[in-house]
Amino acid sequence: MSIKKGLFEEYSKERESSNLNKALVKKANYSHHKVFDTPTFLLESDGHEQILLIETSKIENWLYSDRPESELGDIHALADDFRLIGQQQPCIVRPHTTKKDYYELIAGERRWKAAKLAGIKLKTINKNLSDKEAALIQAAENENRKGLSDYAKGISYAKLIDQGILEQKDLTSILKISKQQVSRLLSFSKIPPIVIEEIEDMSKISARTAEQIKQICSKGREYIEVILSNAQSLKHGKIGANKLMEIVNTGILNTKTDLKILDKSSRYLFSWKKNYKNKWSISLSEDVSKLISTDKIQLNTLTEEIRCIIEKHLVEIK
């Protein structure tokens, strides 16, 4: 008998008389989290719930599932454990709303995917849950799950609130999340898509930093560009809320003073601007734009002069 299997049998004896939702006691030299994948929420029970074994093909993820693929952890390792000792902690499902003899997965996505890989039936508890009850079970698990990012939680909560399934007061009164934290988590859904695309991986962005990003971006395009130019540092968790505000203030100051081009009478002509990809562009003043639009400055002539200067220097660097 393997050491791992022997330890599992020891666990099984200890768990026979305990509720399925009580946390396992962690033994020395053995990490149980990968094997049992235990949810942290408690389910209300009338004492007559049954454990059902269901084909994984008969289960579909709930429409409002919240766990990003990038945050599911090592599913293959969990599947290997299932092949060795089976699935010990059941998932939560409810009858499918439109398909007969099918189920919707409410909690336990890692276990469901691992069971698919392992080629075994999924051990479940089937409960008749409303959308709100299902959302609260899922949200309660999220708030106690260490591996789930603030971004995943925030986007999930925003979606549930937008669809009218939950209200912000549910998160504060039932799940005991502070109003400030709820506001910060919901900030993720209000960050411009271009910022999220440039950062790529939002998992290292805290709710507090997300709130700061949202507030900064609301001030206008030039502020958004400073955020974009620091996207990689944000992605790798090198910048927090306070540091970000310092960088933004410095970046906006430099943009407004150092790159504005004036004539001899101190009239604003144009600005050199560096975008979020560190590429330069020219922004003409309103007065210059009017001169071009009224043909007082010939756009073709101006374009040709700029083109000749650039081509000259391009030839020199060949």
Q: Which domain does 221 fall in, by range?
A: 191-257
Asked if residue 110 and residue 217 are part of one domain, the reply reads no
Asked if residue 298 and residue 252 are part of one domain, the reply reads no
DSSP character at residue 188: G
DSSP E strand stretches across the chain = 51-54, 59-61, 91-95, 103-107, 122-126, 260-262, 268-274, 280-284
- pLDDT tens track for 85-122: 999 889 999 999 899 999 999 999 999 999 999 999 99
Mean pLDDT of the chain: 80
Give the pLDDT of residue 6: 53
Asked if residue 106 and residue 9 are part of one domain, the reply reads yes
Asked if residue 210 and residue 114 are part of one domain, the reply reads no
Asked if residue 112 and residue 16 are part of one domain, the reply reads yes
Asked if residue 94 and residue 18 are part of one domain, the reply reads yes
Please indicate, yes or no, if residue 83 is contained in any of the structural domains: yes
Domain termination residue (choose one: 130, 156, 179): 130
Question: Is pLDDT of 317 > 80?
Answer: no
Comparing 103-112, 152-161, 236-245, which segment has the lowest mean pLDDT? 236-245
Name the band, by pLDDT with cuts 50, 70 and 90, for residue 131. very high
- pLDDT tens track for 210-239: 999 999 999 888 788 888 888 888 988 888
Phi first, then psi, for residue 37 (nearest 5°) are 50, 50
Please indicate, yes or no, if residue 48 is contained in any of the structural domains: yes
Please indicate, yes or no, if residue 103 is contained in any of the structural domains: yes
Asked if residue 8 and residue 110 are part of one domain, the reply reads yes
Instruction: State the average pLDDT over residues 296-314.
Output: 87
For the chain, the domain total comes to: 3
Angstrom distance (rounded) from CA 110 to CA 142 = 13
Render the chain in DSSP notation, one character per residue: --HHHHHHHHHHHHHTTS-TTSPPPPPTT---HHHH----S-----S---EEEE-GGGEEE-TT----GGGS--HHHHHHHHHHH---S-EEEEE-SSSTT-EEEEE-HHHHHHHHHHT-PEEEEE----HHHHHHHHHHHHHH-TTS-HHHHHHHHHHHHHTTS--HHHHHHTS---HHHHHHHHGGGGS-HHHHHHH---TT--HHHHHHHHHHHTT-HHHHHHHHHTHHHHHTT---HHHHHHHHHHHHHHHHHTSEEE-TT--EEEEEEE-TTS-EEEEE-HHHHHHHHTTSS-HHHHHHHHHHHHHHHHHHT-
Angstrom distance (rounded) from CA 191 to CA 205 = 12
- Token readout for 93 is 């499902």
Residue 101's CATH number: 3.90.1530.30
pTM attached to this predicted model: 0.64
Please indicate, yes or no, if residue 236 is contained in any of the structural domains: yes
Asked if residue 201 and residue 99 are part of one domain, the reply reads no
Asked if residue 52 and residue 24 are part of one domain, the reply reads yes
Angstrom distance (rounded) from CA 115 to CA 112 = 5
Give the pLDDT of residue 184: 95
Question: Is pLDDT of 149 > 50?
Answer: yes
203, with CB counted inside 10 A (0-12, 13-18, 19+), is middle
Give the pLDDT of residue 12: 44
Asked if residue 107 and residue 49 are part of one domain, the reply reads yes
Please indicate, yes or no, if residue 144 is contained in any of the structural domains: no
Please indicate, yes or no, if residue 13 is contained in any of the structural domains: yes
Domain termination residue (choose one: 130, 165, 182): 130
Angstrom distance (rounded) from CA 94 to CA 124 = 10
Domain termination residue (choose one: 130, 152, 169): 130
Please, which residues bridge with residue 59 across strands?
103
Please indicate, yes or no, if residue 279 is contained in any of the structural domains: yes
- pLDDT tens track for 45-85: 444 568 899 999 999 999 888 788 788 888 999 999 999 99
Asked if residue 90 and residue 14 are part of one domain, the reply reads yes
Asked if residue 228 and residue 297 are part of one domain, the reply reads no
Please indicate, yes or no, if residue 154 is contained in any of the structural domains: no
